[in-house]
Structure formats: C-alpha cells, structure tokens
Structure 1
Amino acid sequence: MFDIGFWELILIAIIGLVVLGPERLPVAIRTVKSWINSVKRFSDGVKTELNEELRIQELHQNLKKAEQANMENLAPDVAKSVESLQEAAQMVNQPYAKKPASDSSDNSESSDDKPAK
C-alpha cells in the first residue's frame, strides 16, 4: 500500500515526539490506530456486501437460465445455483411452517396444569 521503510517510520516517530510531546503521543497513536481500524472494518463490510451482491446476481442469472431450460438438463453450475436457492427458500419458510403437536402421547392434564377451584 504505502512504501514506508523502517527509517521513515523512525523519522515520523521522532517528529511526532517533538511536535506532540511524550504525554500526548501515545494518545495520538491510539487515536490514529482506531481510525485505521474503523476504516478497515468499513472496507471489509463494503467488500463483503459487494461479494454478496455479485453472488446474488449470479444466482439470479442462473435461475433465469434454468427457467428458460424448463428446469431440465441443467449445467452443473446452474443446477447448484438452483439447489442453493431452494435451500434458501426452505430456510425462509421454515419459521412459518406449522409446528407438530406436542410430544406427549397422552392428552390428560396433570394435577399442576388444572386450574384451582
């Protein structure tokens, strides 16, 4: 990224020490470090979002190809994309599926479940 060698870093540290003084230099270094970390996190987030958008676009194109081929004799990458989309659809629908009846085989209420008279 930057072509800064060891001697350049030493020179920057000495200038920083002279300008800021020994009391404020550690605080300034921590502040610059936090800025750099926040920029890195932001760039990683943007990179992740872009990769996900590209993946979604690719899946969308493969789904169009599969629809045009009437979901028969699909290429392996297109079939994989369709399979991935089907799994995602099942995961989305799963929370809304009806839950099965209770696991207990008897329907009688225990004495704790009965309301007090």
Structure 2
Amino acid sequence: MADRQGPAERVITSARRLLSNMIAMGETRLRLAVLELETERDRMLSLLLLAGAALITFSFAIGMLLLMLVVLYWEDHRLLAIGLCSAVLFIIAACLAYGAKRIAKRRRLMQSTLSHLAQDRQALGSSRESS
C-alpha cells in the first residue's frame, strides 16, 4: 500500500493537474474566440445596416442630380449629358469597389485568438526542448 502513495501516485497526480491546466487553457482560448466572433458579428451587422442606409440615400441623391442635369441639358446636348453621367458613375463605382476590396483584405478574423495560440505553442515548445 505504501507503493501506491509513492512516486507513481505523484506522477498520476501531476498528469491530472497538467491535463486540468491544459483543459482550462483551452477553455480560456475558446472563450476568447467566441467573444471575438460575437464582437465581429455585431460590428459587421452595424456596418451593413449603416452602409445599406447610406447607399439607398446616396442612390436617391445621385438619381436626382442626374435627372436635374439631363433636364437642364435636354434641348441642346441630352445624349452627351446622359453619356457623361453614366461614365462618371462607372468611374465612381470602380473606385468604390477597389476601396472595398482593400478594406476586405485588411481585416483578419480572430487575430487575438490566433496570436495567443501561437504564444501557447511557443511556450509548450520551449518547455519540451528544455526537458
């Protein structure tokens, strides 16, 4: 009976403690990932709602401006006015699409979680090498 209480029991206790710590660390990282996903979801929803409202309002404003320009030049240069308005709109749309593409590439989802996991991997790697 004394053998069970000796080194073997201490190894099992240490292994249980190590497993418990690893599970707690994994749970912390999972909670961080969930928190980041929820934050990103809320940010994206707000962004989409505001962008949609701005897009609708901006579309009406541009439509009214174009209608005013076409009516203003109806007698003299109606086709030129319509063509120039269309060209300007295509150029603006291309610039906005390029800007949206740049913004979409810039954002990384769950960046904090990934950096913490990399730190954990390095810490575990250095402890393995020193053993």
Give the TM-score range, shorter chain. 0.3 to 0.5
TM-score, normalised by the number of residues in structure 1: 0.44
TM-score, normalised by the number of residues in structure 2: 0.40
More helix by share: 2
